[in-house]
């Protein structure tokens, strides 16, 4: 790529925007300068949305945005704007809804054409440089739209106004009457997921296969409620198959975003912080349900990967790693048979070939590259049954391969730090620290929260900003930032029972209610009032690869209400559940995480109240025991600080006493870990 061009993106912090800073396209960021220019010159806006580890975004850049003729045409006829969807999911949500509603599908890179007042009139995703896949070439498309704008501008503007009105209708959410919230919703949802279960390979659905941890984690909770042993087996099988698949980095730890096949074998190699946070939580659940140490090992594998490769020295967690290195997808991760035969002894190679399924022809072809590398093997576990002697050989194999891989050129690291995704990973580290008894994980959680409070929380205005990178934060506030952080902080409080963490959770929840809650209709807006660069204010209610802000908020507020006794937290959560009730009944897969909140709300949660000297060995032993039982509808709290009034009346009768209560009724107090576990089953 030539560096003779420098556009407005050179001043940005987003790694994705900086990737495009030297395109011949005169890119603007999403800001008032770009909007004013479009209005002043009466030009349509070409909006391109993606993210820095998006493989097809790289492809479209190479094929189109780096080309002089494409840049020249865009600069003459359009105002071109780039948006990092991870920095501005609120912008992405609006225009993705438009693209999905008008084309039937969506994805990134997303390409949308807007009027100067930012109303969309045409959109799609990836457009090739020549006519293929039944789509026009990108330049042909630009020429057609420029011609239409020149000759039929009035019609386009009128059409955009009409489409905008339709978009408002699509995104509006009103609570439907006569939509009762009952256990039957959970039962039907579980049956729906079981019908989609792949009994051969695990997972819920067909290729391409996304982990979607909200679905299996809900299925475990519903299985406990309804005594459904088959659902438990489905989830455990799914987690075993994912763990053995190529979607799991068998050398470096962590999971890729999805598999392109039904077998979890060939991943799309990018790794996202939000996936790994949710998968760590899922494998904690399956460890507690099954008692299988392999699931605990998978949690450690994920979190150790994050500590090693995805953590800022100050404690923040980075966002993602790319799929590509040296222009090839998966090159960093794949191996040829010839390469391994030269690296390993004969005995080691034989074990590696059996265990990982290494073949001459390989199992992966990078179809996105004009000259694919030959004989590439994605590592997956195809021969797990090995002898004790072979285990030692396998350890030597992994060590040698890891040393060689560490010398390869790593994929690009997206090192921005997002409040939202950090909240998810904060919760995973906090819970793992107490379930697995790992002090290092507690230290990582504490350090992460300190980083977020220092760099993204403004104490004076009670504002949580969304992105920090390279010493600078942005000015964006988003529901998912507040919601995911709140969830993570509650998990940290439950894992430590430090009153200061509860105080901050309450402060954050109060700020979130003030800025995002729709008191008239229930639910939470994705952006606060006064966000003037959006054509719509939207309530996100879709749990996909990431849970929605509304779903996470609802469960977090229900938990915080149970811990603190704050009725306003509970009422806001209940109103949000009611707003989503019809959707929960008719489209449970669209709100898989919200189902967790409904499950929690339907019954009075069990409250584990710890009384005693926090920090003592006995207290910590009992705290671990409280977290060692799979009981999704419980909370753990102390008897001091901002906890609910009844908990404060419960005092230690021994150095440490634990009370398991429902409402104002408690089991006999105990300091016996076995009895405590029995109270929680």
User: Minimal CA–CA distance to 21: which of 56, 66, 77?
Assistant: 66
The domain limits of the chain are: 8-171, 324-410, 606-680
Strand-by-strand arrangement of the 320-321 sheet:
271-272, 320-321, 413-414
Asked if residues 556 and 487 have their Cβ atoms less than 8 Å apart, the reply is yes
Bridge partners (DSSP) listed for residue 608? 636, 660
What is the reported pLDDT for 103? Answer: 93
SS3 84: strand
Q: Would you state the pLDDT for residue 498?
A: 98
SS3 320: strand
Question: Which of the four pLDDT bands, split at 50, 70 and 90, describes residue 385?
Answer: confident
- The answer to whether residues 509 and 488 touch, using CB atoms and an 8 Å cutoff, is no
For β-strands 472-473 and 634-638, DSSP reports them as unpaired
CB 477 within 8 A of CB 528: yes
Q: Among the CATH numbers 3.40.50, 3.40.30, 2.60.40, 1.10.3470, which is that of 606-680?
A: 3.40.30
How high is the pLDDT of residue 653? 87
C-alpha closest to that of 444 among 515, 510, 396, 495: 495
Q: What is the mean pLDDT of residues 580-599?
A: 96
CATH class of 8-171: alpha beta
Percent of all residues in the chain with a pLDDT value above 70, rounded to a whole number = 99
Characterize the bridge pairing of strands 120-124 and 258-259: unpaired
Name the CA dihedral angle for 562, 563, 569, 573, rounded to a multiple of 10 degrees: -50
SS3 at position 666:
strand
Angle at alpha carbon of residue 607, lines to 423 and 523, rounded to 5°: 50
As a whole number, the mean pLDDT across the chain is: 95
The number of helices, as runs of H, and strands, as runs of E, in the chain is 26, 20
CB-CB contact of 320 with 14 (8 Å): no
Of all helices (H) and strands (E), which one includes residue 52?
Answer: none
Question: Minimal CA–CA distance to 486: which of 468, 467, 512?
Answer: 512
Report the pLDDT value the prediction gives residue 511, as an integer from 0 to 100. 98
- pLDDT tens digits for range 132-164: 877 789 999 999 999 999 999 999 999 999 999
CA nearest to 28, candidates 81, 92, 83, 78: 81
Mean pLDDT to the nearest integer, 668-681: 96
Out of 527-531, 551-555, 568-572, 657-661, pick the least confident.
527-531
**Does 8-171 match 606-680 in CATH topology?**
yes
Looking at residue 370, what is its pLDDT? Answer: 83
Q: What angle do CA 434, 437, 441 make, to 5 degrees?
A: 75
pLDDT of the residue at 1: 47
Query: Which residues fall within 8 angstroms of residue 107, CB to CB, at 6 or more apart?
Result: 56, 125, 126
pLDDT in the model for residue 135: 75
């Amino acid at each position: 790529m030539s560096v003779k061009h420098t556009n407005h993106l050179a001043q940005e912090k987003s790694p994705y925007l900086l990737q495009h800073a030297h395109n011949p396209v005169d890119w603007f960021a999403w800001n008032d300068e770009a909007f004013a220019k479009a209005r002043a010159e009466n030009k349509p806006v070409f909006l391109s949305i993606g993210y820095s580890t998006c493989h097809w975004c790289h492809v479209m850049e190479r094929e189109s945005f780096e080309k002089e003729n494409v840049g020249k045409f865009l600069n003459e006829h359009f105002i071109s704007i780039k948006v990092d969807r991870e920095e501005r999911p609120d912008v992405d949500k609006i225009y993705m809804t438009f693209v999905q509603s008008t084309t039937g599908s969506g994805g990134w890179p997303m390409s949308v054409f807007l009027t100067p007042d930012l109303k969309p009139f045409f959109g799609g995703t990836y457009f090739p440089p020549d006519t293929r896949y039944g789509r026009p070439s990108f330049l042909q498309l630009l020429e057609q739209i420029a011609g239409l704008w020149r000759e039929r501008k009035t019609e386009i503007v009128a059409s955009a106004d009409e489409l905008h009105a339709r978009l408002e209708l699509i995104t509006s959410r009103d609570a439907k009457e006569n939509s009762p919230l009952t256990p039957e919703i959970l039962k039907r949802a579980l049956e729906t997921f079981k019908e989609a279960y792949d009994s051969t390979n695990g997972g819920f659905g067909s290729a391409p296969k996304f982990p979607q941890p909200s679905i299996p984690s809900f299925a475990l909770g519903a299985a406990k409620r309804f005594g459904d042993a088959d659902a438990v087996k489905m989830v455990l099988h799914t987690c075993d198959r994912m763990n053995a698949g190529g979607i799991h980095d068998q050398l470096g730890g962590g999971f890729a975003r999805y598999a392109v096949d039904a077998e979890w074998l060939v991943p799309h190699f990018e790794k996202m912080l939000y996936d790994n946070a949710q998968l760590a939580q899922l494998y904690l659940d399956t460890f507690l349900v099954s008692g299988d140490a392999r699931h605990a090992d998978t949690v450690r594998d994920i979190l150790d990967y994050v500590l090693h490769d995805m953590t800022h020295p100050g404690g923040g967690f980075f966002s993602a790693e790319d799929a590509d290195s040296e222009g090839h997808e998966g090159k960093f991760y794949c191996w040829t048979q010839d390469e391994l035969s030269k690296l390993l002894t004969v005995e080691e190679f034989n074990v590696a070939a059996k265990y990982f399924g290494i073949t001459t022809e390989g199992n992966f072809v990078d179809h996105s590259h004009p000259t694919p590398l030959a004989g590439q093997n994605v590592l997956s576990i195809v021969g797990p049954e090995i002898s004790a002697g072979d285990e030692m050989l396998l350890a030597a194999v992994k060590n040698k391969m890891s040393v060689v891989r560490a010398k390869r050129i790593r994929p690009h690291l997206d090192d921005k730090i997002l409040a939202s995704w950090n909240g998810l990973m904060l919760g995973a580290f906090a819970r793992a620290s107490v379930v697995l008894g790992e002090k290092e994980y507690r230290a990582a959680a504490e350090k992460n929260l300190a980083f977020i409070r220092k760099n993204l929380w403004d104490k004076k205005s009670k504002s949580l900003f969304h992105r920090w990178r390279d010493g600078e934060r942005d000015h964006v506030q988003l529901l998912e930032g507040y919601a995911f952080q709140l969830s993570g902080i509650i998990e940290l409080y439950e894992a430590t029972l430090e009153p200061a963490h509860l105080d901050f959770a309450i402060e954050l929840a109060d700020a979130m209610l003030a800025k995002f809650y729709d008191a008239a209709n229930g639910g939470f807006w994705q952006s606060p009032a006064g966000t003037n660069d959006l054509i719509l204010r939207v309530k996100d209610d879709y749990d996909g690869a990431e849970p929605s802000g509304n779903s996470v908020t609802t469960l977090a507020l229900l938990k915080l209400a149970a811990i603190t006794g704050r009725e306003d937290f509970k009422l806001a959560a209940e109103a949000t559940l009611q707003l989503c009730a019809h959707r929960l009944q008719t489209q449970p897969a669209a709100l898989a995480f919200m189902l967790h909140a409904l499950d929690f709300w339907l019954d009075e949660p069990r409250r584990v109240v710890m009384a005693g000297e926090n920090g003592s060995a006995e207290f910590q032993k009992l705290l671990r025991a409280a977290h060692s039982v799979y009981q999704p509808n419980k909370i753990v709290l102390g008897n001091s600080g901002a906890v609910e009034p009844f908990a404060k009346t419960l005092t230690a009768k021994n150095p440490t006493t634990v009370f398991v209560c429902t409402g104002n009724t408690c089991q006999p107090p105990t300091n016996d870990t076995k009895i405590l576990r029995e109270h929680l089953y």
